[in-house]
Structure 1
Amino acid sequence: MRNDQVGVGVVGYGYWGPNLVRNFAASPQANVVAVSDLDQSRLATCRLAHPSVQTTNRYQDLLDDPTIEAIAIATPAHTHYEMALAALRSGKHVLVEKPLASSADLVRRLIDEAERRRLILMVDHTFLYTPAVQKIKELVDKDDIGDIYYYDSTRVSLGLFQSDVSVIWDLAVHDLAIIDHIIDDIPIAVSATACRHVAGAPENMAHLTLFFQNSCVAHVNVNWLSPVKVRQTFIGGSKKMIVYNDLEPTEKIKVYDKGITVDGASENAHQFRIGYRAGDMWAPHISAKEALRSEVEHFTDCVRNGARPLSDAQSGLRVVEILEAASWSIAAQGKPVLLRQPPRIRAAAIG
C-alpha cells in the first residue's frame, strides 16, 4: 500500500458490499485491506474476485488492524449503529450504507462520537453522486428552474422484500436524500400512508408527502410490488421543468421550457387569466462515470484532507428524521407529523 492510499476495510459482502470493494479496489486513492462477512461462501467469492484482499468472519479483525484507516459498512440496516459506533471507537473513519441508523437519536449519538474523535462519518446516499442529480443540482443553483413548485417521484419495481426495514427505509430514502440536496428549503411536516401484502413482513408500498415552509410540495411513491420497474421524477419550477428518468441509458434528464403565466393583479384574483408557455426541450450531457466510484473517491479525499463530506452525517440525520416521522404518520393512518426544525424556522411556522 502506498503512503498516500487510505487503507479500507469493508464489512458485509452480500448485495452492496461487492460494489463497494470493486470501486475501492479500482480507486488509486484507496487500498482494500480486508473484507469481513459471516458467510464463508461470500468470502470465497470475494477471494476469487480480489485475491490480494484478506478475508475474515470476525469484524473485530478489521477494527484491530492498524493498516485500516476507514471502515465501509454494508450490512443489514439494524446493525448499522452498533458497527459504526465500534468503528468510531476504534479510531476508524466510517462510510455507512443508508440509512445511517434506525432512529434519529442513534444517528445523533454517532455524530457526537465522530465529532469528539474528529473522524469522518459519511452516509452512502449514492444518488447524490450520480451525474444526473449533480446536473439537476447545478440547474437549480443557477436558477435555471426558478422557484421549485413540486418534486414528484415514482420509484417502484418487483423488488427484493427486506426483512428488517420497510419500503420507505429502503427506497424512499433515495428521494429524501435528493430532496434534501437540491431543494433549498426545509420540510416542516410529512404525511405518509403504507400497507403490507405479506404477513409478518414490513410495508411494501407507501406514499409520502413532504410539506415545506413555502409553496413547494414533494410526493414520493415507492413500491416493491410493481409489475414494471420505474425510476422517474418530475421537478416543476417557475421557469422550467425537469423530467429525470434514471432508467434512460443516455438522456436521463430532459429540461422543458414550459410553464404558465398569470395575468391580473393579486387583489383581483377572480379575474386572473392563465397563459401557457411552451418552449424547447433539451437534454444536457450527462457523464457516464459510476456514482459509487465518485463517492468512494470523495470519501477517501475527505479522510485525507479532513473535508466535510457531501453526504455527511448531518444530511443522514435529516433524512432519518423524515423517515422516522413518516413511520409515525403511517401508524396514525396518514396524519401529518411535524418535523424537528431549527429555532428560526420553527418560530416562523408558529408565527
Structure 2
Amino acid sequence: MLDWLLRKVSFSKLNFDNHFTMRIAVIGAGVWGKNLVKNLGELGALAAVADAVDSNRESVQEKYPDLPVYESGEELLGKEELDAVAIATPPHTHCAIALAAMKMGLDVFVEKPMTLDPAEAETMADYAKEKGRILMVGHLLLYQPAISFIKEYIDSGKLGRIRTLTQRRSKLGRVRSIENVLWSFGVHDVAVLLHLAGEEPTEVVSFGHSGISPNIEDDYHLHLSFPSGIKANLHNSWLWPRVERELIITGEKGILVFDEVHSQVILHKKTVTEDLAHHDQGNEVIFEGHDQPLRLELEHFIDCCCTRDEPISGSSNGVACVNVLSRATK
C-alpha cells in the first residue's frame, strides 16, 4: 500500500497537470457528503451535486454558484454526463443508487457502510464485476499513512507472530436512529482489522447496550477470531466522556500502538518469552504522518477509475465488513 501512496503523487501530477478531469457527481451533501464535495472540488473533478435537503443545496450553491445542483440523485443521473458518482446518502439507500449509476456505465464511490444488508452488498459487488465497473467503499482509515506503514511492518515479520489486535473508537458523538454505534463508528475499525489480519474471521462474538433508543446500541464490544490464531477486540461508544482513537497490536517481538489523534505509531519493545520472563527495552516513535486520508482516498478512487485497478477498499473489502457487522448484530 505504501507503493500506491508514493506513486499517487506522480499520478496526480501526470493527470491533473495535463488538464485531465473526471466528471464526478456527489449524491448526498450533508454532514459527511460536504467533505466529498469540498475535496472533489479542489481536485477539479466535481461535476454536480444532488441533495434532498434545501439547506444543503443552498450551501453548495453558495460555494459553487455555477455547479449544477439537483434535488434527487435520480434527476441528476438523468441529466448529467458523468464518469462516476460518490454516494453519501443514508446507508439503506446506497444499493439502489449504486446499481442505478452502474447501470448507466458509471464508476461508484460509496461511503461506509457499503449497505446495511449482506445480500445487498453481494448484489452490488456482483453487478460491478459483471459490468466492469469500479466500486469503492469509503473505508477512510485504510488510507491513513500510518495504517499503510503498520500493514507493511506486520507483513515484514518485524513484530513476529501477531497475537492480538485491539481497537478503541469512542466519543460523545452523533447518535443515530437506524444503524447502531458499531455500524456507524466500527465500520472503519472492522475494515482495518480485516486488512491487517489479511483474512476473514471464523468466529464473531459481540455485546451491545441500548441506553437511548430500543435496539439501537450506543456501546458495543466486538471480539473476532481468525484462522491464523489472531484475536481482535473492538470497543465503540458514542456516549463516552473523552475521545479514544487507538489501535494496539501485540506481537511476539513487541507491541505497536497507533495513536490516531496524534498520527503516531509507537513501538513498545516489551516482550514475554516462553518461560514467562518479561523484557522491556523502552519505546520509540517509528512513524508520524499527517496527510489527509480523505484526499488520499479520493485520489485513489480517481486513480483506479483511470487504471481499472481494484481499489484497496474495493467491493470485496466492503462485503467482508458488512458480513462481519451483520454477524455481530445477529
> TM-score scaled by structure 1?
0.86
Aligned to 1:347: none
Does 2:207 correspond to 1:207? no
Deviation digits for residues 226-273 of structure 1 (CA, Å, limit 9, x no counterpart): 11111122110111211112112x5x21111211111xxxxxxxxxx3
Match of 2:242 among 228, 234, 244: 228
Aligned to 2:305: 303
Aligned to 1:157: 171
SS of equivalent to 1:274: coil
CA pair 52-256 structure 1, distance change in 2 beyond 3 A? farther
CA pair 307-45 structure 1, distance change in 2 beyond 3 A? same
CA pair 199-297 structure 1, distance change in 2 beyond 3 A? closer
Aligned to 2:35: 19
Aligned to 1:218: 232
Aligned positions of 1:44-123 closer than 5 A: 44-65=58-79, 67-123=81-137
The answer to whether the 8 Å contact 1:163/1:201 transfers is no
CA pair 197-111 structure 1, distance change in 2 beyond 3 A? same
Between 45-54 and 304-313, the greater mean CA deviation after superposition: 45-54
Aligned to 1:261: 273
Deviation digits for residues 171-195 of structure 1 (CA, Å, limit 9, x no counterpart): 1111110011111333101000111
Amino acid at match of 2:245: R
Q: C-alpha separation between the residues in 1 aligned to 2:328 and 2:28?
A: 28
Q: C-alpha separation between the residues in 2 aligned to 1:253 and 1:287?
A: 9
Amino acid at match of 2:168: T
Q: C-alpha separation between the residues in 2 aligned to 1:72 and 1:234?
A: 32
Amino acid at match of 1:284: I
Residue 311 of structure 1 and its aligned partner are, at CA, apart by 0.3
Deviation digits for residues 38-75 of structure 1 (CA, Å, limit 9, x no counterpart): 11111111122233422111212331345311000001
Residue 8 of structure 1 and its aligned partner are, at CA, apart by 0.3
Aligned to 1:125: 139
Match of 2:188 among 156, 161, 174: 174
Between 115-124 and 130-139, the greater mean CA deviation after superposition: 130-139
Does 2:24 correspond to 1:8? yes
- State which structure, 1 or 2, has the greater radius of gyration over its C-alpha atoms: 1
Q: C-alpha separation between the residues in 1 aligned to 2:240 and 2:137?
A: 28
Aligned to 2:281: 279
Amino acid at match of 1:209: H
Residue 133 of structure 1 and its aligned partner are, at CA, apart by 1.0
Q: C-alpha separation between the residues in 2 aligned to 1:326 and 1:239?
A: 31
Cα RMSD after superposing both structures: 1.6
The answer to whether the 8 Å contact 2:268/2:282 transfers is yes
Q: C-alpha separation between the residues in 1 aligned to 2:213 and 2:293?
A: 36
SS of equivalent to 1:284: strand
Between 212-221 and 202-211, the greater mean CA deviation after superposition: 212-221
> TM-score scaled by structure 2?
0.91
Q: C-alpha separation between the residues in 2 aligned to 1:41 and 1:165?
A: 24
Q: C-alpha separation between the residues in 2 aligned to 1:181 and 1:233?
A: 13
Aligned positions of 1:247-258 closer than 5 A: 247-248=261-262, 252-258=264-270
Q: Across the two proteins, how many residue pairs are aligned to each other?
A: 314
Amino acid at match of 1:69: D
Identical positions, percent = 30
Q: Extract unaligned runs of 5+ from structure 1.
A: 263-272, 329-351
Q: C-alpha separation between the residues in 1 aligned to 2:294 and 2:81?
A: 23
Q: C-alpha separation between the residues in 1 aligned to 2:253 and 2:198?
A: 16
SS of equivalent to 1:107: helix
Match of 2:257 among 226, 230, 243: 243
Residue 159 of structure 1 and its aligned partner are, at CA, apart by 0.8
Q: Extract unaligned runs of 5+ from structure 2.
A: 1-15
The answer to whether the 8 Å contact 2:146/2:287 transfers is no
Match of 1:319 among 315, 318, 321: 321
Q: C-alpha separation between the residues in 2 aligned to 1:259 and 1:309?
A: 36
SS of equivalent to 1:308: coil
Aligned to 1:332: none
